[in-house]
Homo-oligomer: A and B are copies of this chain.
Amino acid sequence: MYRIGVDLGGTNIAVGLVNEDLKLVTKKSMPTRAERPPEEIVSDIATLCRAVCEEQGLALGEIACVGIATPGIANRDTGVVEYANNLPFHQFPIADRLKAQLGVSNVRIENDANAAAWGEAVAGAAKGSKNSVMITLGTGVGGGIIIDNKVFSGFNYAGGELGHIVIEVDGAPCSCGRKGCWEAYSSATALIRMTKEKLEECRATGRATIMTDQPKISGRTACDAMRAGDQAAKEVYDKYVKYLASGLATIINIFQPEVISLGGGVSGEGQSLIDSLLPIVRKEQYGGGVVPMTDIRIAKLGNDAGIIGAAMLG
C-alpha cells in the first residue's frame, strides 16, 4: 500500500506519496505561513495529502498511513505536538485534527529530526541497521536516535537533542541559550562564522586568501578555497572538522551505533568530509580495534528523509 509523509517546516509544508519500495512517488508543497492559526496549517496539509493521491489516482482509503514530521516536541503516543519553537503549536492535537479532516484513522507524528533519522534507517544510509544515529549539519545541528529499530527520544519525547551537548563549557553562544553546544561549532552557521573570523584575521594581518574574492560567504566558501590550495581556508576547515570529529567520537562513546549518517548542507562535501573526520574519530573513540566499529556515512535521502521517515512511522 501507499503511504503519505508530511514534512512540516517553519517555512514550507512538503507532502509526499511513498510506495511499497519506500520510494517517493510524488511530492507537493506550499508555504507554511507559520503565523496562522494551527487549524489552517492542518487544512493545507490535508489539501496537499488529497492532491498527491489525486495525482496518482488513489483514494485516501488506499493509504496505509499518514505520518507528520514536525518541529518541536512530538508526543508519538497521543499525536499531540507539546510545543514547537517556530510554529504556533502548544499542546496541539495535530494527529486528531488531520484524521478528522481526511477521514483516515492512521495518522502518526514524530519530531522532524527523528523522522529524518528513521527515514535514513529504513530506506537510506543506515538501511539494514538496528541502531543508528543521524546528525544533520545545517542551520543548526539536529540529531535523531534509532535504537532497536525504534525512534528513541526519552520518556517525554524531548530527547535526541544531539546538537545541544556542550563540547566547550563557557564556549560560543548557542541559539538554545546554552554556551558551547556542539551546534555552535558544527552547524553550517558555525562554519560560516569560523570562515568570517578567519577573513577578519587575514584582513587585519594583511594575509592573502582567495576567500576574500567570494561575493558571499557560505558553508562552501572555506571548503572550496581549501581544495583550491588556500592555506587560510584549510585552517578554517581543519578547525571545523576537529570539533565535528570530537562530537562524533562522543556520540560513538555513548551509543556505539552501527551507523552514523551525516545529513544537511555541510554533508554535501561528501566522502572527502568523511575521510577528513575518520582519522580523528577513530583516535578518540572507545573500543577501536577490539569490537566492530561504527560506520560514518553521508545520508542518502537528502531533503526527502523527513517525508519518507514520516510515511514509515505507522
Q: What residues make up the interface of A, taking CB atoms closer than 8 Å to B?
A: 73, 82-83, 129-131, 145, 147-148, 152-162, 164-169, 176-178, 185, 242-243, 246-247, 249-250, 252-258, 283-284, 286-287, 290-293
Contacts and interface: CB of A to CB of B under 8 A. Distances in A.
A156 B286 CA distance: 11
A156 B256 CA distance: 7
B254 A162 contact: yes
A286 B155 contact: no
A121 to B, nearest CB: 13
Contacts of A283: 177
Contacts of A73: 287, 290-291
Given A73-B290, A243-B169, A256 B147 contact: no
B256 A291 contact: no
A258 to B, nearest CB: 5
Nearest to A289: B83
B253 A161 contact: yes
A284 B178 contact: yes
B147 A131 contact: no
A131 B155 contact: yes
A238 to B, nearest CB: 13
B169 A155 contact: no
Contacts of A284: 166, 177-178
A157 B131 CA distance: 12
In the A-B complex, list the 6 residue pairs whose CB atoms are closest, starting with the nearest: A154-B256, A159-B256, A158-B287, A156-B291, A161-B253, A165-B250
